[in-house]
A = this chain, B = another copy of it.
Amino acid sequence: MQRVRVESFSVSVDGFGAGPDQSPEEPLGVGGKALHRWAFTTRTFRRMFGQDGGETGADDRFAARGFENVGAWVLGRNMFGPVRGPWPDESWKGWWGDTPPYHCPVFVLTHHPRPPLEMDGGTVFHFVTDGFVAALRQAKVAARGKDVRVGGGVSTIQQGLRAGLIDELHIAISPVLLGGGERLFDGVDLVSLGYECAEQVGTPHATHVVLRRKA
């Protein structure tokens, strides 16, 4: 059965999925990079960026499973780039260079239309102007039976949770404080929405928590 999954989404001990004062220089907000330290210890992420080595324990197991059986992605606009408002031209092609690590269709939420963008390695960015639910519907078709991964950010995930459209959510609690920014679970009542904590695994780098929507 096709599922909708959030994977490897990092939050701070104080609950923030991005730091305060996001800008082109600090796309994850001030201090936000430290959220992802666990991921960059793993073999999975190092390989993705052309590096050798990396650890192969529980952190890597969670990083790797995040890419398994994924046929399409949904991303919020800020995950794709720092451009706000209408696209000034088509020069911005994402944070990831010519060969993004998706290798499948990626549906980017935006208020401003733009033609699809085909990258090397099988990634095609589609720009969706009619909201999360519409983007998810298109992603489900494009995934051809595989799962859809919702990449983030916080606002995009919250839309999915509130609509009851996310089946499973893996978060990594990193041993950092951010003090401010976007809180992942602000205004979201996970119990009323039917989620339960299915798994919690701690490593020296992060605590991995799997939340699952009860059938």
Q: Which residues of A contact B (CB under 8 A)?
A: 13-15, 31, 171, 173, 175-180, 183, 185, 188-193, 195-197, 199-204, 207, 209, 211
Bound Cα distance from A211 to B179, whole angstroms? 12
Copies of this chain present: 2
Q: Is the CB of A179 within 8 A of B173?
A: no
Shortest beta-carbon distance from A168 to chain B in Å: 14
Which residues of chain B are near A201, meaning CB under 8 Å? Answer: 202
Shortest beta-carbon distance from A39 to chain B in Å: 16
Shortest beta-carbon distance from A92 to chain B in Å: 31
Shortest beta-carbon distance from A11 to chain B in Å: 10
Specify which of A171, A177, A191, A209 lies most central, judged by the most chain B CB atoms within 10 Å of its CB. A191
Q: Is the CB of A13 within 8 A of B202?
A: no
Given contacts A14-B190, A31-B191, A185-B15, contact A176 B202 (CB under 8 A): no
Given contacts A31-B191, A201-B202, A203-B202, contact A209 B178 (CB under 8 A): no
Given contacts A15-B15, A189-B180, A190-B14, contact A207 B196 (CB under 8 A): no
Specify which of A13, A173, A178 lies most central, judged by the most chain B CB atoms within 10 Å of its CB. A13
Which residues of chain B are near A176, meaning CB under 8 Å? Answer: 197
9 cross-chain pairs, A with B, having the tightest CB-CB distances, nearest first:
A202-B202, A179-B191, A175-B200, A207-B207, A179-B189, A175-B197, A14-B185, A177-B190, A15-B15
